[in-house]
Amino acid sequence: MGRFFQSFTLIEIMVVVLIIGLLAGLVGINVIRYFDRARERTARAQLTMIEQALELYKIENGRYPTTDEGLSALARGGYIKGKQIPKDPWGSDYYYISDGSTFTLKSPGPDKVVGTQDDISAE
């Protein structure tokens, strides 16, 4: 009496591999979105920290650091821990412009270009 072997056909294996690939793709897309949101939240938190340091600087000096003095004035004056201002999560310097009475502070965002739609501010 012969044995009857039951095995998967090539089509069945290909369907399983296709389903696994689709699921991996969906998971990958969601993981990328999660990391993008995490970077944005990190940038907003850093911007808030820098804004608080700017306000403290203004209280003690009567004005904000000028554009020429830059954010490094915060590190030199001890308003921020460390010897330098952190870069944004995409590796760019934060954009800072000030005449001493007001300031503009933002991250260039993922495209690393100031003035585009993906710029991030603390609000």
Give the pLDDT score at 28: 81
* Domain of residue 41, CATH code: 3.30.700.10
Give the pLDDT score at 33: 85
Domain-located, residue 118? no
pLDDT category of residue 19 using cuts at 50, 70 and 90: very high
Give the pLDDT score at 43: 95
* CA distances in angstroms from 8 to 2, 3, 4, 16, listed in the order given: 19, 16, 13, 11
Residue 115 class from Cβ within 10 Å (0-12 exposed, 13-18 middle, 19+ buried)?
Answer: exposed
Domain containing residue 47: 10-106
Give the pLDDT score at 4: 64
Domain-located, residue 55? yes
Domain count, the chain: 1
Domain-located, residue 122? no
Concatenating the DSSP letter of every residue in 57-99 gives HHHHHSSPPPTTT-THHHHHTTSSSSSSPPPPTTSPPPEEEE-
pLDDT tens digit sequence for 70-118 = 999 999 999 998 788 999 999 999 999 999 999 999 999 999 999 999 9
pLDDT at 2 over 90: no
pLDDT tens digit sequence for 22-67 = 988 888 888 888 888 999 999 999 999 999 999 999 999 999 999 9
Domain-located, residue 60? yes
Domain-located, residue 2? no
Tell me the torsion sign for CA atoms 23, 27, 28, 29: positive
pLDDT category of residue 1 using cuts at 50, 70 and 90: low
Domain-located, residue 4? no
Domain-located, residue 49? yes
**Between residues 40 and 2, the one the model is more confident about:** 40
